[in-house]
Structure 1
Amino acid sequence: MTITETRVITTSGNGRAASSVGQRRRRYTEDQVPLKNVIWRMVAGAVVLAIFVLPYIIMFFGSVKTKSQIRSVDPTYFPVEWNWDNYIKMWSTPETPLPFNLMSTVVIAVCATVLVLLVAMPAAYYTARFKFPGRMVFLFLVIVTQMLQPAVLTSGLFRQFNWLGIGDTWTAMILVNAAFNLSFATWIMHSFFAGIPKEVDEAAQIDGAGRLTVLFKINLPLVWPGIVTAIVFTFVSCWNEFAASLVILSTDKNQPLAVALTKFVGQYETSWQYVFGVSIVAILPVVILFMMIEKRLVGGLTAGSVK
């Protein structure tokens, strides 16, 4: 009995000290990371970075090699002779009019992205703010369209555009890219609009703001991360679209870079130095876009994960 009491007294007497030790341990765990863990994280990050970056490095080295170096019996990763003229010659090759292909890619991607925003933004706002008959059916059909890809519908789209008289035109590809990216953009922005309390809209309307004013001046600044996310994914999808462009666009000057790239791959000979060079040029705008809006894109992808 005496021993038990002594233990209780000792424990209660040292409670304040034990509490301070626990606080120090928690503070150490939260504020300081052991050096060993930091090193392992750096090594793991370097390995992952190398896995993703190495193909692009090899592609860049291939773009500055000569054809003989690439087709050598004993090839090397690093160029023996740096042939920077490949980036100049590829713009005037007889295989394809590359400057027109780049212009076609930019026009189709930008116009399709703008069209998606103009349609998806009010659609997402209306479905998030108003409950109307058939609302869930409409949202369900928006998801269903995600299961349909341009590659599956290319033959039907080809006949339809020819019947409308817009076959083999930029207009046809703008409509195709906009249609197949509209559902994703609508769902992304719908979730962001739904996360804004309706009281925000009501307060603005009490002050005399109309629906358009509430949408553009009140809601858009709050859902900007979601809009940036929709812009990036729509633009990248339109920029890399291949299957529908290959079927619908038959004129060399109207085809985007994704299709023009295949023209350097022949039946008996392939100009790999130009394939690598055009690939580098094709990925640069996307990389620059990601670098410019990376912070807002991360905010859009992680928004709503913590309440």
Structure 2
Amino acid sequence: SPARPHQRRPRTPQVRRSRPALVRAGRGWRRVRPVVLPLVGLAVALFFVAPYAAMLSGSLKTDAELFAVPATYLPESWAWSNYLDVWNRIPLADYFRVSMTIALVSTALVLVVAAPAAYVLARSRFRGRTAFLGVILVTQMFPAVALLIGLYQQALFVDGINSYGVIIAINAAFNLAFAVWILHAHFSSIPVEIDEAAMMDGLGRFRIMLRMILPLAAPGLVTVMIFTFIQVWNEFVIALTLFNDPAGGRVPLTVGVQQFIGLYETNYQYLFAAALMAIVPAVILFALIEKHLVSGLTAGSTK
């Protein structure tokens, strides 16, 4: 029998109608996107800013206005003196100094330890490397509260209660795993040919990491720095247990602020004022290096 000529299968009407519909939908979204996206962003920003606005309003009220019925959102008489009273009631400057010392030294220690460790993991191929990275990640699953009793016993054993060395070492240890993972991703995304070219020029591994790799991984270092600083700055449970010595002047800011919370009375206006002042260093740090933060979090995710 003669061969049948090749017959082209006709397109279904549904396919013919779907393409114009998709085109119209895409055009409609392009028209409303400049309006919808800013509105969504504004709504999200207001959601996160609202608690701070409430704290600012409460910090400027008198004690009578805070508990007045009906409550008012804005203060009737702006009590700016509340911020001055906070400094007179508690040694807030000393609390700032202690927290700043712990946060800066812990952040520096994390960078000094995590950078070489991440560089070795990114450039070396040894047996058990993947398992070692998994063990590092597993350490992030244990919260500080679950390990608090063990940490307290270890601090007693080395006579480290109210010791700067112990609290700095513990804070650095809890943030070390995150730092190694972030820096490992950055170092892995840097071409190995840079190391090979530097070796031909006579540089050793340490000098290559210091002079060539770390400048290229600056966004990752910035990310590790800001996250570690904020985590240590906001830490409360371990500091309350292991580093709380008012007589010796060793009280972090997060622990000292709770003095406004009493058994029978709580000075909320002073508590709000102190809490707002406590977030100022973290906000300033974030504002200064925010442009490096996004690139630091996403670098190494694609090749």
Task: Please indicate the TM-score interval, normalised by the length of the shorter structure.
Answer: 0.7 to 0.9
Shift of 1:136: 2.6
Which of 67, 73, 78 lines up with 2:69 in the alignment? 73
Tell me what 1:13 maps to: none
Tell me what 1:22 maps to: none
**Is contact 2:185-2:299 (8 Å) kept?**
no
Per mean C-alpha deviation after superposition, the further-off stretch among 44-53 and 127-136 is: 127-136
Confirm or deny that 1:132 pairs with 2:126.
Answer: yes
SS in 1 for 2:244: coil
Confirm or deny that 1:182 pairs with 2:168.
Answer: no
Per mean C-alpha deviation after superposition, the further-off stretch among 41-50 and 290-299 is: 41-50
TM-score between both structures, scaled by the size of structure 2: 0.86
Which of 211, 216, 220 lines up with 2:205 in the alignment? 211
Tell me what 2:15 maps to: none
Distance 2:136 2:301 in 1: 23
Tell me what 1:230 maps to: 224
**Is contact 1:116-1:181 (8 Å) kept?**
yes
Shift of 1:42: 2.2
Confirm or deny that 1:221 pairs with 2:215.
Answer: yes
Cα gap change, 1:137 to 1:45, in 2 (>3 Å): closer
**Is contact 1:166-1:172 (8 Å) kept?**
yes
Q: Which deviations, in whole Å up to 9, do the C-alpha atoms of 1:119-147 show, x marking residues without a partner?
A: 00000001111123432332222111111
Confirm or deny that 1:148 pairs with 2:158.
Answer: no
Distance 1:287 1:248 in 2: 27
Which of 44, 47, 50 lines up with 2:43 in the alignment? 47
5 Å-filtered alignment, 1:73-152, equals 73-93=69-89, 96-152=90-146
Question: Across the two proteins, how many residue pairs are aligned to each other?
Answer: 278
TM-score between both structures, scaled by the size of structure 1: 0.85
Amino acid at match of 1:189: L
Amino acid at match of 2:191: P
Distance 2:195 2:207 in 1: 10
Tell me what 2:33 maps to: 37
CA RMSD across the alignment: 2.0
Confirm or deny that 1:294 pairs with 2:295.
Answer: no
Distance 1:299 1:127 in 2: 21
Shift of 1:246: 1.1
Shift of 1:118: 0.5
Amino acid at match of 1:54: A
Q: Which deviations, in whole Å up to 9, do the C-alpha atoms of 1:130-169 show, x marking residues without a partner?
A: 1234323322221111112221111221121122122112
Superposition misfits of 4+ residues, deviation over 6 angstroms = none
Distance 2:107 2:117 in 1: 15
**Is contact 1:257-1:282 (8 Å) kept?**
yes
Unpaired stretches in structure 1, ≥5 consecutive residues: 1-24
Confirm or deny that 1:58 pairs with 2:54.
Answer: yes
**Is contact 1:60-1:277 (8 Å) kept?**
yes
Distance 1:281 1:77 in 2: 21
**Is contact 1:150-1:176 (8 Å) kept?**
no
Q: Which deviations, in whole Å up to 9, do the C-alpha atoms of 1:25-73 show, x marking residues without a partner?
A: 9xx97xx952x33222222222111111111111111111111111212
SS in 1 for 2:104: helix
Unpaired stretches in structure 2, ≥5 consecutive residues: 1-22
**Is contact 1:104-1:170 (8 Å) kept?**
no
Confirm or deny that 1:192 pairs with 2:186.
Answer: yes
Confirm or deny that 1:279 pairs with 2:282.
Answer: no
